[in-house]
Amino acid sequence: MSSLFLVAGTSHAAVDNELSLVDGQDRTLTVQQCDTFLNGVFPLDRNRLTREWFHSGRAKYNCSGAGCDEFAGALELGYQIGFPWSLGLGINFSYQTPNILLDNVTPATLTGQGWGGIITPNLFPGVSISADLGNGPGIQEVATFSVNVSGPAGAVAVSNAHGTVTGAAGGVMLRPFARLVSETGDSVTTYGEPWNMN
């Protein structure tokens, strides 16, 4: 189970890395990665060419300067994936938020009067990204999800998002990144330290 939260304000998370940029409107845009943890686990398919992990962490942004109250853009999280050799390498990433959808529920339903019920699908949908990379060595960048943001500051958090790489012969390295892209096209990306998924 994993979750994604968009929050505003400050926190006391450990900053892993950050980068700033002065955009075309003379605002300073800063993006940070905090509390990043990639937990490499033994793959469930027991295949020696599969790497599997769970990702937890936060991305935060800050806009300082005139006009930051009107700032709007997207905050992205993703990876650069390095592999020495592959047989039709495939990358998969998914997260699912726990939630329920109520059908025709009123306060009277909660007291035992009237009718209504809990139905699916989820109120907040899950996201899955897959990419086929072909044969050979290389580095591939994959943005796993993107959240629209607005205002002078905000953050997005992910807990135990699931990722896999299949068809990789040799080691697999993951370099997590956080990217802030303004609606005017200005972009700043911070890259974390590589994680070995052997």
Could you give all domains of the chain from N- to C-terminal order, each with its CATH number? 3-196 (2.60.40.1650)
Residues of the chain with pLDDT under 50: 1-12, 98-102, 117-125
Secondary element (H or E) of residue 82: strand 72-83
Q: Residue 196 and residue 198: Cα distance in Å, rounded?
A: 6
Write out pLDDT tens, residues 23-60: 999 999 999 999 999 999 999 989 888 889 999 999 99
Q: Residue 148 and residue 95: Cα distance in Å, rounded?
A: 17
Q: Which ranges in the chain belong to alpha helices (H)?
A: 107-110
Straight-line distance from the first to the last Cα atom of the chain, in angstroms, rounded to the nearest whole number:
23
**What predicted TM-score, i.e. pTM, was given to this entire model?**
0.72
pLDDT of residue 4: 40
Residue with tokens 């992990």: 53
Q: Residue 12 and residue 187: Cα distance in Å, rounded?
A: 25
pLDDT of residue 183: 96
Amino acid occupying residue 127: V
